[in-house]
Chains A and B, each alone.
Chain A
């Protein structure tokens, strides 16, 4: 089963309390943790893709205007409290395994090495029609 794990970051304070404001050793530990997690998933044959997204400042929402051309507005919805910082796609045996991996990612070390408890949204990736026998 394939799942997308979406890592959300709080919109408020992400500039003033973001990773760049942590002590250097904590930043290093966080980066190493994330790299290690990806390596572990690859080693387990469960890794499909992982991407970090560029900052939300340059994010835009596009809708087609009447003539079908792009109508571009700032986004994502400014009232949203969180933004999507990055995602993984994993291919695992069952939902429980996906939850376990998400928990690992959620506990990435933050400032002072304290587990961050990042909210990770889990969505199953839809697949082809099932075999009916």
Chain B
């Protein structure tokens, strides 16, 4: 036993270990749902015991043993017949076969496990909210209570969501192994999408009552970092990681004391995290130089350009405009057109930006969306058309579903009116 570690260190260790414990237990018991429950119980037991008794020498082995014992107990309780078979088998398994040697705490097999687990949790049969919840629990090692708290739903609701997700996976018959090469690219992109959504949830909710909620953005970065470690040659994995790091670097500057939104061009850039920016910029530069550019890499490159501008007027808008243009060609997404229009406005003037927005009124995906009104308000403000700007800001305020955003847009309208 080592010295008494802090709860914080233990929490981190447990989250790191969660997927490395779950993998072997699933393989041994061939039941993802039951194994996942048992590992969760083992993690909770460790979180209770380790701060008092110290971290065992082989923490991963400890967790596997506790989880395996719970499963064995359960099987015993389930069936007397199976008890005779499994008792011997399990004792052996728990003691020898599935406990890793302390000399190899994180070998290649464990990395594969984490990846296979991510593929399972982000299985296409699941709804996105289910995939997110399952990923955070099975791979992220968060407790159901923590996840429920992060998404502001009752714990029982979250527990049910997770258990339904697991039974869907069971029904789908997905085997616990690496998907084949052909399927793999598709599955990686599903994983990245789920990680992106977790990050976004964390980022959006970082307004206001963040302190009461698990740090989802940080968790998303940690998991994406793990994927990047396992798939270092995948440009989009690196791109997503860089995008998250570069966006999160501005976190401290993006809200005011009352949780109000501070837009990029008004942020106090001295509050940006310089180390994070250096890391993100290095990562995306390295990745872009290798070719095969994808949407996450382009978004990271744009974030890097913003982050590298010491003052807002130093922003390299022509470069950002070119990147959004490229992004627009890659994916038909009206939100990209919106951002592109802002960049065009910065380079060629607000009238040119407004012109770029016109086709969006015919696009059912975004016509009437508050963000279209918000951008129009912004660009009309730049052209000096005050009344039009106010009308669009108010229209956007009436349609947004985010309280801080509504406050921000109402305030924009009010300030314009007051400046008359």
Q: Are B393 and A20 in contact (CB under 8 A)?
A: yes
B206 shortest CB reach to chain A, Å: 16
For B397-420 the 0/1 string (1 means CB < 8 A from A) is: 111110100110111011101100
Task: Name the residue on A nearest B397 (C-beta).
Answer: A20
Contacts of A22 in B (CB 8 A): 414
Is there an interface contact between A15 and B258, defined as CB atoms closer than 8 Å? no
Complex Cα distance, B414 from A24, in Å, reads 5
Q: Within the complex, what minimum Cβ distance (angstroms) separates B156 from chain A?
A: 16
B394 on the A face (CB < 8 A): yes
Residues of chain B with a CB closer than 8 A to A115's CB: none
Flag A29-68 by CB within 8 Å of B: 1 or 0 each: 0011001000000000000000010110110000000000
Q: How far is the CA of A52 from the CA of B400 in the complex (A)?
A: 12
Q: Nearest residue in B to A23 (C-beta to C-beta)?
A: B418
Return B43 CB to nearest CB of chain A, in Å.
Answer: 29
Determine if A55 and B258 form an interchain contact, defined as CB atoms under 8 angstroms apart: no
Quote the shortest CB–CB distance from A41 to chain B (angstroms): 14
| Smallest CB gap from B208: residue in A | A35
Main SS at interface, chain A: helix
Number of interface residues of B (CB under 8 A): 21
Chain B residues near A35 (CB-CB < 8 A): 258-259
Are A27 and B411 in contact, CB atoms less than 8 angstroms apart? yes
Q: Establish whether residues A27 and B398, one from each chain, have CB atoms under 8 Å apart when the complex forms.
A: no
Nearest neighbor of B396 in chain A, beta-carbon distance: A20
Given contacts A24-B411, A24-B415, A54-B401, contact A31 B394 (CB under 8 A): no
Whether a CB of chain B sits under 8 angstroms from the CB of A18 is yes
Interface pair A24/B418, CB less than 8 Å apart: yes
Contacts of A54 in B (CB 8 A): 399-401
Residues of chain A with a CB closer than 8 A to B399's CB: 54-55, 57-58
Instruction: Say yes or no: B403 contacts A52, CB within 8 Å.
Output: yes
Question: In this complex, which of B260, B400, B411, B418 has the most chain A Cβ atoms within 10 angstroms of its Cβ?
Answer: B411
In the assembled complex, the CB of A16 is this many whole angstroms from the nearest CB of chain B, namely 9
Q: Tell me if A19 is interfacial: C-beta within 8 Å of chain B.
A: yes
A21 interface contact, C-beta 8 A: yes
B195, chain A: closest CB distance, angstroms: 27
The answer to whether B414 touches A21, judged by C-beta atoms less than 8 angstroms apart, is yes
Q: Please pick, from A27, A32, A57, A58, the residue contacting B410 in the complex, using a CB distance under 8 A.
A: A27
B393, B398, B403 — most chain A CB neighbours (10 Å): B398
**Contacts known (A15-B398, A54-B400, A57-B399); A31 close to B407, Cβ less than 8 A:** yes
Question: What are the nearest 10 A-B pairs in CB distance?
Answer: A20-B410, A55-B398, A20-B413, A54-B401, A24-B414, A20-B394, A24-B415, A20-B397, A19-B410, A52-B403
Residues of A within 8 A of B (CB): 15, 18-24, 26-28, 31-32, 35, 52, 54-55, 57-58
Some 17 contacts from A to B, beta carbons below 8 A apart, are A15-B398, A18-B398, A21-B394, A21-B417, A22-B414, A23-B417, A23-B418, A24-B415, A24-B418, A26-B414, A27-B407, A32-B258, A52-B406, A54-B399, A54-B400, A55-B399, A58-B399
